[in-house]
Chains A and B, each alone.
Chain A
Amino acid sequence: MRRVLLWLPLALFAALFGLVALGLFKPADRTVRSAMVDKPLPEFALPAMLPTKPGVARTSFGGGKPRLINVFASWCVPCIAEAPELMKLKAAGVPIDGVAINDTPEAIQKFLDRNGDPYERIGNDKASQVQIALGSSGVPETFLIDGRGRIVRQYVSNLQSDQVDDILKTWRGMR
């Protein structure tokens, strides 16, 4: 009896281990339930960042087609990490508009040359006004806007591949 009891701590630890391992490998839900989700996009109109692409405005959204808004900057390291995921979405046909925060055309052009260009339009948000209106607090952040111009999803920080899958699924469902 005493001998069996000596193994009890190990058994308890094994149970703890199982619990923690389960929690760890359960896919984490990292969607941010922001106050802006399920709300219509606020009114805004940003001038073009580059001469080659138009700017971004509230009127570009709605009209039956779901789109992504990606808030980014050339000076942001996670944005570099995120670039391949955005290129994947572009390749799948998802239209993406960029909102560049506190940036210059030269820096943005260099950033796109180096990391690929997934954007149809890029707005110049010099003073972070649109960023704040969207309820975004950092770069990068990505918003999925449905065909009626409502914010459906908000992803904080660089997109992960499971989030890309989530975007594709939702986007295809809305089309």
Chain B
Amino acid sequence: MIAEGGLAALWLAAVMAVLQLVVASSAVIGGRAEMARAVRPVAIAQGLLTALAMLCLILVFVQSDMSVLLVAENSHSLKPMMYKIAGAWGNHEGSMLLWVTILGLAGGAVAIFERRLDSRTLNATIGAQALIAMGFYAFLLFASNPFARLFPSPPDGNGLNPLLQDPGLAFHPPTLYVGYVGISVAFSFAVGALVTRDVGPAFARAMRPWVLGAWIFLTIGITAGSYWAYYELGWGGWWFWDPVENASLMPWLAATALLHSVSVLATRDGLRAWTIMLAVVAFSMSMIGTFLVRSGILTSVHAFAVDPKRGAFLLALLAIYIGGALALFAARIGTVRQGNTFALVSREGALVVNNLLLSVILGIVLIGTLYPLAAAGWGVQLSVGKPFFDKTVGPVALALVVFIAIGPLLRWRRDEIQALLKRMTWPVAASCAALIVLVPFAWGVGFLPLAALVLAAGLAVASVAPLWGRNLRRTPLFTWGMVVAHLGVAVSLTGMASDSAFTKETLAVLRQGETRAVGPYLVTMTGIRPVVGPNWSAIAADLSIRRGEGGAPFILSPESRFFASPTTTTSESAIATRLDGQLYTVLGQPDGKGGWQVRLWWKPFVTLIWLGGGLIGLGGALSFLGRIRRRKRAVYDEYEEAVA
């Protein structure tokens, strides 16, 4: 019954989406005031109904109702409860339902919280949101029904990909999805503004918290996903330039650019067309990402179900939404009044350069991701991997770092080169100091890692520079946000460069009692033992580890796990985190003569990568709080003015 209830809720939500579009467009185009009053309640109802459908899906997974096809294929009654719940979105249909749920809830949230935007633009925005939702409801109901029944029902389910039985799964996809789909609000805002030709600072201030909110989730989702891949896959890497990773990176790049250009629009009323364009591009990248992942058109380590029919459906939706928005942009943007202009040497100028560099990186990642597809078009099988992306993205990213450092030190509208150079004294000095310290022992690590370390030092100093000489308690929260986020970039960059420059790797075959050194550590195999888990069994190696000859020993136990249903083997890495880096150990195969393969990495300062990512997200959150607070105050001031 729950499954049928969920399906009914989904249908009703779809009906609400149609109603929402009708009501909103008759309010905007027909100017019908009574229709305008219905827009918000309908949008909220739509959000609640999708949430109800998602809740029903989670319930059938919790109950292990094997008569539901999706549960039978992806769950198992023996699975721990957390993974039963997470299993609801660990598959194609469930994840698409989650996608639509977030879309519906985001639309509902706009209807509830957005009070400052011009009401025509708001109605057009909610209408656009309904239009997007309708397509994805159709996709779910006609091509990916998550509530389909299975008859006769099997005694138990097929289990779940054991790689996905990890706390990361419960957390990572929903976070990323909130970000992916949250960007849809920015897209709808852009479409709404194009419809009413209302592109200006008020519009930008209304859109900014939504972009910021989605961006925070994308940042956290990508950071968490990267750490998850790092410890779960057991390959010792933290970013593989896999199509699915790129699919999450591309919307983030566009959203980062959008975040900065929307600030220019809000503060200085510049970059009108560009901001609208970025809002369209950011959500387009989300949808292209969803499409690439869900259609199985590109080969990826993320093994998802492949179904060309679903791919075709998604592709048609892409064509309608992205093509429609771009056509609207081309037809309308010429009639939007030109915004303010600015001098090249100014805060705006630096933000434009930052935007262009982010767009270049986005372009490179997009081309690199799709190139295998184009090559397959003329019959060449190839894959574009790490070497290409590192070589092409690396230098552009470093140029971007320079402009992240410069931007906040420039004044709005117009500034002097001499003044800038003076403000850059300490950052440049920090870079020089880093260079002098690093050259003696890091000369041979290659240009990119060395340049990255040197620039990171400069950026770290430059990013806190806006706080100098200010009363820290009176500094607005969003300035703190910027400082923390930019500092996070420096921290993360240091981790990436240090990992690629100084990592030590050893592959050893160890018998009991044998020792091997990696970095500053001595690793001794003390034993091999079996371990039994709830739905797996494993071989675990006990490695006794000392830092140098005199260090206090501790034990790490990497495992090789065997899952019975479905039969799969996974490596559980064992990681020791220290202040100056991580020791990463993976257990491999036995050599048949009493020895076991063990892979060991010493990764100095690698944790800074995710710490930096966390700081970037935290900076976004501070900024978000700052904006919300100021907005509340502004609403209050307006009210006071009106009363007076």
**Chain A residues in the interface with B (C-beta under 8 A):** 2-3, 6-7, 9-10, 13-14, 16-17, 19-26, 28, 30, 75-77, 114, 128, 137-138
Contacts and interface: CB of A to CB of B under 8 A. Distances in A.
B330 interface: yes
Given A23-B373, A24-B295, A77-B73, A9 B315 contact: no
A10 B327 contact: yes
B323 A28 contact: no
Contacts of A21: 315
B154 A75 contact: yes
A77 B158 contact: yes
B289 to A, nearest CB: 12
A138 B566 contact: yes
Contacts of B567: 128, 137-138
A19 B297 CA distance: 11
Nearest to B158: A77
Contact of B329 (A6, A20, A128): A6
Given A14-B323, A75-B155, A24 B329 contact: no
B315 A13 contact: no
Contact of A19 (B291, B312, B373): B373
B150 interface: yes
B520 interface: no
B370 A16 contact: yes
Contact of B297 (A23, A77, A114): A23
25 contacts: A2-B334, A3-B334, A6-B333, A9-B277, A9-B280, A9-B326, A10-B323, A13-B284, A16-B288, A17-B318, A19-B373, A20-B370, A20-B373, A23-B297, A23-B376, A23-B377, A24-B295, A24-B312, A28-B306, A30-B306, A75-B155, A76-B158, A77-B73, A128-B567, A138-B567
A6 B318 contact: no
Contact of B315 (A10, A17, A26, A137): A17
A13 B566 contact: no
Contacts, number: 72
A53 B510 CA distance: 50
B333 A24 contact: no
A133 B312 CA distance: 38
Nearest to B284: A13
B297 A25 contact: no
Contacts of B323: 10, 13-14, 17
B326 A20 contact: no
B374 interface: yes
A21 to B, nearest CB: 6
A6 B330 CA distance: 5
B377 A22 contact: yes
Given A16-B370, A77-B73, A24 B315 contact: yes
B141 interface: no
Nearest to A107: B155
Contacts of A28: 306, 308
A138 B567 CA distance: 7
**Most chain B beta-carbon neighbours within 10 Å: one of A19, A75, A77, A138:** A77
Interface in B454-500: none
B161 to A, nearest CB: 12
B615 to A, nearest CB: 33
A22 to B, nearest CB: 6
B334 A19 contact: no
Contacts of A14: 323
B72 interface: yes
A17 B319 contact: yes
Contacts of A77: 69, 72-73, 150, 154, 158
A117 B570 CA distance: 36
Closest A-B pairs by Cβ, 8 of them: A10-B326, A6-B330, A23-B373, A7-B330, A9-B326, A24-B311, A23-B297, A13-B322
A23 B323 CA distance: 19
Contact of A25 (B291, B308, B318): B308
A30 B333 CA distance: 46
A138 B330 CA distance: 51
Nearest to A131: B567
Interface string B558-580: 00000000110000000000000
Given A10-B326, A17-B319, A20-B373, 19 more contacts: A6-B334, A9-B277, A9-B280, A13-B284, A17-B318, A17-B323, A19-B374, A20-B370, A23-B297, A23-B376, A24-B295, A24-B308, A24-B315, A25-B312, A28-B308, A76-B158, A77-B73, A77-B154, A138-B567
A10 B288 CA distance: 15
Given A25-B308, A28-B306, A77-B154, A20 B315 contact: yes
Contacts of A20: 291, 297, 315, 370, 373
Contacts of B370: 16, 19-20
A26 B376 CA distance: 10
Interface string B134-170: 0000000000000000101011101000000000000
Contact of B330 (A10, A75, A128): A10
A121 B158 CA distance: 26
A138 B376 CA distance: 29
B326 A13 contact: yes
Contacts of B333: 6
Contacts of B311: 24
A30 B566 CA distance: 21
Contacts of A16: 288, 370
Contacts of B72: 77
Nearest to A132: B567
A126 to B, nearest CB: 14
A21 B329 CA distance: 23
Contacts of B308: 24-25, 28
Contacts of A30: 306
Interface string B69-109: 10011000000000000000000000000000000000000
Contacts of B73: 77
B35 to A, nearest CB: 31
Interface in B288-344: 288, 291, 295, 297, 306, 308, 311-312, 315, 318-319, 322-323, 326-327, 329-330, 333-334
A14 B315 CA distance: 12
A71 B374 CA distance: 36
Interface in B151-194: 152, 154-156, 158
B569 to A, nearest CB: 10
